[in-house]
Amino acid sequence: MPSLHPSAAADNELTDNRHRPPVRTEYRTTDAPLIVTPTFLTRADNTPRAERTMDPGSTKGRHGEGIENPDAEPAEIALEANPNLAYEHWDEYWRKVHGPKFAYEEPGTDNEPVLRYDQVHRFAGGPSSYFRPPYKAMITADKKLVSDPYAQVPAYQRPRFDGFAYIAYAAEADIQKVLKQPQYDKRIIADEQTAFRLVTREIAREYILLPSPQHRDPLSLVKIHYRRPELSREEFQQRLLGPHAALVLAQPATHTYVRRYAQLHNIGSTQQPDPEGNPIDAVSVLCFASVNDVEDYLATDDYQAIEADEATFIDLARSEFWTGLNYSVINRLLPELATRR
């Protein structure tokens, strides 16, 4: 009988599964804070520049040039010219093409300093700060379902970003050690400019508050935090990691639904300017086993207490949250441990 083990793939040297369990057999672990590049991004598509900003040279055309106004030249977009397929094609490309490219060790390169690389793909059907649970039936004053749904379709509010790459290192120096290699400095950047219209470049210190036993959690609630103006970034991050984290962990609902809880505190950037990444003060990532678990958690009284506390030090008007699908591309950290503080 043929083996069903993933390592049976004939061209396994080109795939990313050899960089994570179960194919990889050697791992490391630590309880020290890791350094993470929580790279938020938007996809290459025909959105007008007035609606979504663009990085210079991004959204490559079919001849390798950056398209200045993709809404005026949608047929020239290299990734996908058909706007009806743009989201699907981008979502597939990021996971199935870009992920293996990043993990591939080109001759003369070394990606061992990358301890973990997850892709978190935002999906519209999950809870977000723009359309949050509990979801209610649309009814008339006499409690009957509306007869004219075609006239009452809710407007779609798109979050600022389409996903983020969650890349962890042991030390800040390891970031440049990896990214300054020709594979990443030239060829991976060229791939990013083909698939993405904007990529943030912040550097964060990671604090794992609830470690994941397997780090194979399928869903993440991603919360992007901006501080209230009266607080410094240091004051905000101390409040988030101290009293607020204690409040989150004190809620019974957290331990019923949440499988992993981490905070990423912004400490810098891999390049300047970084106008979209620099203002982000921190990111909270809460992982779940199912979409229903995310929805049920957000609908609890426990979560209302968490959100009430957030309102006292987080600028909720600027902040956002959304749900994403997790894809593990590289994982050299097993088991995951709570961060020593």
pLDDT tens profile 25-38: 899 999 999 999 99
pTM of the model: 0.95
Q: In the prediction, which pLDDT does 12 show?
A: 74
Distances (CA, A) of 202 to 197, 226, 242: 17, 14, 22
Q: In the prediction, which pLDDT does 207 show?
A: 98
Distances (CA, A) of 235 to 78, 161, 267: 44, 26, 13
Q: How far apart are the first and last CA of the chain?
A: 50
Is residue 211 within 8 A of residue 337, CB to CB? The reply is yes
Q: In the prediction, which pLDDT does 221 show?
A: 98
Q: In the prediction, which pLDDT does 13 show?
A: 81
C-alpha radius of gyration, the chain, whole number: 21
CA pair distance 71, 55, nearest whole angstrom: 15
CA pair distance 186, 183, nearest whole angstrom: 6
3-state secondary structure of 263: strand
Q: In the prediction, which pLDDT does 5 show?
A: 53
Q: In the prediction, which pLDDT does 2 show?
A: 47
Is residue 205 within 8 A of residue 155, CB to CB? The reply is no
Q: In the prediction, which pLDDT does 1 show?
A: 45
Residue found under tokens 């957030």: 310
Q: In the prediction, which pLDDT does 241 show?
A: 98
Sign of CA dihedral 62, 188, 20, 335: negative
CA pair distance 251, 286, nearest whole angstrom: 14
Is residue 262 within 8 A of residue 36, CB to CB? The reply is no
Q: How many residues does the chain have?
A: 341
Identify which of 239, 240, 19 has the alpha carbon closest to the alpha carbon of residue 117.
19
- Percentages helix, strand, coil for the chain (3-state, rounded to 5) are 30, 25, 45
Q: Which residues of the chain have pLDDT under 50?
A: 1-3
